[in-house]
Amino acid sequence: MKIVVTGVNGQLGHDVVKELLKKNHVVIGTDRNTLDISNEENVQAYIEEIKPDAVVHCAAYTNVDAAEEDQDTAYRVNTLGAKYLAQAAKKIGSKMVLVSTDYVFDGTERQPYEVDHPTKPLGVYGSTKLAGEEELKKNLEAYFIVRTAWVFGINGNNFVNTMLRLGKERGELGVVHDQIGSPTYTVDLASFIAELVESDQYGVYHATNSGVCSWYEFAVEIFKQAGLEVKVNQLTSDQFPRPAERPKYSVLSKKKIIEQGFTPLRDWKEALSAYLDEKRLYE
């Protein structure tokens, strides 16, 4: 297959390109210089010229706090970008994968969110991503929506890197313990997306590594696996105020992955170990 991947310079886009190339697909990775997803004419012309069999849309405005102030940019990238790509894909008969987020939910549940659970975003980031999902559904039938959470990968900034840096600098830090979710290694997520795009089992999927933890528990495990002596103190979300409210509980049910016969993502602790090994190769 010939596949266009947006957001090639991001954590997930980087690994999706690597995974698809490993599976012998023809892959065209794009960044904002080669493809401005917020420009309708640019998107139509680019997709028309390349004529891919599939588009994997990883590019997004992901600065959750900045989105509260910069609503226009978040909307243009997250909502209009998905719309324009879906319309262009429809025109040439291409399928499309949209990577979405746990932030489409408000985090008030206490059991994993199913793919058909009612959505209720808390802020601009979640709202614009959800609107992007709606645009995709409206404009294209051959689509996959993959909601994920707590992403970490080699090609960018993430919680693991931040913890390692702060741990080395300080030796003691505070991390919130009242936000619960599932970390996701981009290598594992990319593998699932590659499996998905090769199929025609369209619809909405939830994909994270298996297992559940708080940010505090995640930090403790990072330091344990990295062999760092760091004292981690538990904080509440109220003690660590941010411009955008975070969902307190964002565990996503992976039931559909199993039901559709795809490979479930491994436990997050195993994934963290693999990521730390990968990091060592680059150091």
**Residue 224 CB coordination number (10 Å):** 12
For the beta carbon of residue 164, count every other beta carbon within 10 angstroms: 18
Q: How confident is the model at residue 75 (pLDDT cuts 50, 70, 90)?
A: very high
Q: How far is it, in rounded angstroms, from Cα 226 to Cα 197?
A: 34
CATH architecture for residues 2-157+183-210+251-266? 3-Layer(aba) Sandwich (3.40)
Predicted pLDDT at 43: 97
Report residue 245's pLDDT band, with 50, 70 and 90 as the boundaries.
confident
Name the nearest CA neighbour of 196 among 272, 134, 232, 142.
Answer: 142
pTM for this model (two decimals): 0.96
pLDDT at 282 over 80: no
pLDDT above 80 for 136:
yes
| CA–CA–CA angle 73, 179, 16 (5° rounding) | 55
Q: Half-sphere exposure (CA, 13 Å, Cβ side) for 66?
A: 6
Please state, for a pLDDT cut of 70, what percent of the chain lies above it. Answer: 100
Name the active-site residue from 84, 113, 125, 216: 125
CB atoms within 10 A of CB 54: 21
Looking at residue 281, its pLDDT comes to 87
DSSP 8-state symbol, 252: B
Domain ranges of the chain: 2-157+183-210+251-266
Strands (E), 1-142: 2-6, 26-30, 54-57, 95-101
Q: How far is CA 262 from CA 7, 47, 150, in A?
A: 24, 28, 21
Helix (H, G, I), strand (E, B) or coil at 45: helix
Looking at the DSSP bridge assignments, the partners of residue 56 are 5, 97
Structural contact between residues 56 and 6, judged by C-beta atoms closer than 8 angstroms = yes
Nearest Cα to Cα of residue 1 among 19, 14, 13 = 19
Instruction: Classify 188 as helix, strand or coil.
Output: helix
Residue whose C-alpha is closest to residue 58's, from 25, 122, 9: 9
Chain centroid offset of residue 260 CA:
21
Q: List, for residues 193-218, the tens digit of each pLDDT value.
A: 999 999 999 999 999 999 999 999 99
CB atoms within 10 A of CB 118: 8
Asked if residue 10 lies in contact with residue 155, where contact means CB atoms within 8 angstroms, the answer is yes
Residues contacting 17, CB < 8 A, separation 6+ = 5, 8, 27, 29
| Residue 166 pLDDT exceeds 80 | yes
Q: Is 202 a catalytic residue?
A: no
